[in-house]
């Protein structure tokens, strides 16, 4: 049966209109909706930190002030203070970057459907975020820079080792790929990041956790619905991971459930607000949300 020419034309126009509407909708979600909040810039003044670091000991109020001014948590502050003058210079560099205005470049990761925000100066020059001040094996790296169809689901990685050049993380990056070991330096390209550490972390747990992750969670297929169907923690080898689930799975193996809302799906936001974790460093996000 053949359709009249006019009817075929109408069907073709309707199909083209639907495709156009779809792409306009995706563009709107990935631009206007995903970027409805501008990059974080402190709405409070930058202050002189010398009266604080010149003290022999810091109290809770001092740590709170440094956190708001630099995004550095107590462990990072202590480590830099113990480094002497070079550590103090590092704190000042981080403070300067924390208050510096930036713009973001929204770059495709998986066509128009998944994108990531990377840092640029207001004149369009590509820049990097402040260096990771106190990174250790077993730490968790999070970012909200990754977004799909307007939803800022973010990305997560587990730190395996640290070196002067940076170190490595285990990450599940994209549908159609397997989890892999990556260089930590790429985290400085994101428009924001969060470094978290288990409050109960010990050197023994660090070693066991990272060894387990490398042996059992490296090279695992990406699966968006990990933990959503069936057992949240499958015992067989035929399972997949997404970025947040990979981190959660590694820690739950040692008895630490980092899923803060206890739901079936583990997200970056669930990890970010786990009471079992402490903030080591934050950039591009409002530290008051983690105070």
pLDDT for the residue 20: 55
pLDDT for the residue 146: 85
pLDDT for the residue 247: 98
pLDDT for the residue 252: 95
Burial of 215 (0-12, 13-18, 19+ CB in 10 A): exposed
Q: Which residue is listed with tokens 């599940």?
A: 172
What are the domain boundaries of the chain? Answer: 1-33, 134-290
Q: Express each pLDDT in 172-220 by its tens digit.
A: 998 889 999 999 999 999 999 999 999 999 999 999 999 999 999 999 9
The stretches in the chain having pLDDT less than 70 are 1-5, 7-36, 110-113, 149-151, 228-238
Q: Which of 120, 131, 105 is nearest to 195 (CA)?
A: 131
Please tell me the distance from the alpha carbon of residue 190 to that of residue 206, in angstroms, as a whole number: 26
Q: Which residues does 155 contact at the CB level (< 8 Å), separation at least 6?
A: 116, 142, 143, 145, 146, 171, 173, 190, 243, 268
Instruction: Select from 3.90.1720.10, 3.10.20.600, 3.40.190.10, 3.40.50.1820 the CATH code of 134-290.
Output: 3.90.1720.10
């Amino acid at each position: 049966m053949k359709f009249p020419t006019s009817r075929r034309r109408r069907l073709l126009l309707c199909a083209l209109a639907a495709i156009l509407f779809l792409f306009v909708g995706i563009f709107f979600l990935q631009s206007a909706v995903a970027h409805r909040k501008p990059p974080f810039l402190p709405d409070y003044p930058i202050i002189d930190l010398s009266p604080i670091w010149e003290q022999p000991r810091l109290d809770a109020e001092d740590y709170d002030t440094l956190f708001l001014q630099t995004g550095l948590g107590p462990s990072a502050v202590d480590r830099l203070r113990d480094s002497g003058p070079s550590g103090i210079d590092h704190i000042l560099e981080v403070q300067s970057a924390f208050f510096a205005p930036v713009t973001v470049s929204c770059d495709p990761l998986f066509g128009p459907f998944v994108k990531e925000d990377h840092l640029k100066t207001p004149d369009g020059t590509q820049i990097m975020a402040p260096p990771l001040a106190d990174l250790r094996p077993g730490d968790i790296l999070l970012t909200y820079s990754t977004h799909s169809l307007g939803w800022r689901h973010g990305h997560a990685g587990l730190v395996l080792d640290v070196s002067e050049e940076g170190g490595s993380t285990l990450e599940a990056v994209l549908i159609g790929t397997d989890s892999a070991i990556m260089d930590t330096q790429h985290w400085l390209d994101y428009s924001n990041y969060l470094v978290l550490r288990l409050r109960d972390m010990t050197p023994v747990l660090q070693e066991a956790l990272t060894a387990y992750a490398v042996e059992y969670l490296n090279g695992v297929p990406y699966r968006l619905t990990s933990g959503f169907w069936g057992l949240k923690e499958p015992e067989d080898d035929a399972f997949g991971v997404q970025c947040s689930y990979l981190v959660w799975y590694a820690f739950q193996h040692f008895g630490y459930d980092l899923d803060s809302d206890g739901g079936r799906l583990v997200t970056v936001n669930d990890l970010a607000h786990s009471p079992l974790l402490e903030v080591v460093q934050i950039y591009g996000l409002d530290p008051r949300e983690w105070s």
